[in-house]
Structure 1
Amino acid sequence: MTAQASLSFDATTFRRTLGMFATGIAVITARDRHGNPVGLTISSFNSVSLAPPLVVWSLANDSTLRETLEACEHYAINVLAADQEDISNRFASRTGDRFAGLRWEEGLGGAPLLEGCCAVFEVRNSQRLPGGDHVVFISEVIRCDRSEQAPLVFFNGQYRQLAPR
């Protein structure tokens, strides 16, 4: 009997249940081998270690940017602010120039640092591990910065904003 055969739930139930865990939204940005800026939206981002400073995120094995991001020495993790839902949608799309009209500056390795984010992590591509239908990236944080802006939050399949207590 395989592990899959013994599950008491299906993929849809699993995904919907995971959706009950509120997450921030980030955009991974880098340069491809031709020097062009590339990026994609993620919600699977977390800290691993403070010493050394490590973060983790995952990417679908069939992502069109997988090979590019595996080959990058450096990339940036741009944590989106509450007013950046449009940027999340733009980088989640598989079509169009994701950087058209956006303001950004160059970070380590030329990785684009998006303007207006509530946090940014400039990282070194440290380790990659297989994780089922995803690859897990462990990244060493070289530089980080934050603002006082509230983050964009994703919960139960929808964008949300934090409410004061």
Structure 2
Amino acid sequence: MRSSRPEVSTAQYRKSVALFATGIVVVTAVDTEGRTHGATVNSFTSVSLDPPTVMVSLRKGKTHSLISDSGWYGVSVLSQEQSAYASHFSGPRDGRVEPDFVSGDHVSTLGGSLARFECEVTREIGIHDHTLFVARVDFSSATDGVPLVFFGSRHSHVLQLG
């Protein structure tokens, strides 16, 4: 049953959801010529520990198409020192940032990231203007550090308590 309230505006929704702090990742995919492409995403989540399964949400674009075609994607969890990567992969490339990619068996990820995952797509779920790519984790690695987070529509970092 639909509510009798007026629909939530895009502007109001964006303002509200911006108050939910999230990590920032770069999702990568490789084209047929072996070049790595990526997109900055804050809609990444763990779905299951057994088997290790994750999900990202992407709108249609180059990275989306490459993932759909290849069935693989990489995820790099950015540290607070990697804000330039978040900016680089969120819009037109200006050539000021030269990404440090680490080659994997199926896809490259960003060196220096807090965590890196290579993921094989098991399901694609289209929802409105995005696709949820659910994937089995084929490889993961992790290092210590402070994450880059997205809060209030800006890059931020966390202050660890205790």
Report whether the alignment pairs 1:102 with 2:111. Answer: no
The residue number in structure 2 matching 1:120 is 116
Instruction: Give, as a single letter, the amino acid of the residue that structure 2 aligns with 1:107.
Output: G
The residue number in structure 1 matching 2:59 is 60
Q: Which is worse superposed, 67-76 or 134-143?
A: 67-76
Spell out, residue by residue over 1:21-70, the C-alpha distance to the aligned partner (whole angstroms, 9 max, x if none): 10000001121122211111100000111111111110113x23322121
Number of matched pairs: 161
Q: Which runs of structure 2 are paired with 1:64-83 in the superposition (5 Å)?
A: 64-83=62-81
Partner Cα separation in structure 1 for residue 79 and residue 28 of structure 2: 16
Report whether the alignment pairs 1:159 with 2:155. Answer: yes
Partner Cα separation in structure 1 for residue 89 and residue 23 of structure 2: 15
Contact persistence 1:25–1:43 (CA under 8 A): yes
Contact persistence 1:75–1:108 (CA under 8 A): no
Helix, strand or coil at the partner of 2:80: coil
Instruction: Give, as a single letter, the amino acid of the residue that structure 1 aligns with 2:77.
Output: V
Contact persistence 2:29–2:63 (CA under 8 A): no
Report whether the alignment pairs 1:13 with 2:9. Answer: no
Partner Cα separation in structure 1 for residue 117 and residue 50 of structure 2: 15
Q: 1:14 to 1:36 in 2, by over 3 A?
A: same
Deviation of the 1:153 alpha carbon? 0.5
Partner Cα separation in structure 2 for residue 33 and residue 6 of structure 1: 49
Contact persistence 1:74–1:108 (CA under 8 A): no
The CA RMSD measured in Å over matched residues stands at 2.1
Q: 1:34 to 1:150 in 2, by over 3 A?
A: same
The residue number in structure 2 matching 1:87 is 85
Instruction: Give, as a single letter, the amino acid of the residue that structure 1 aligns with 2:81.
Output: D
Deviation of the 1:97 alpha carbon? 5.2
Partner Cα separation in structure 1 for residue 50 and residue 127 of structure 2: 24
Contact persistence 2:149–2:156 (CA under 8 A): yes
Identity between Structure 1 and Structure 2 (%): 29
Contact persistence 1:27–1:40 (CA under 8 A): yes
Q: 1:94 to 1:7 in 2, by over 3 A?
A: farther
Q: Unaligned 5+ residue runs, structure 1?
A: none
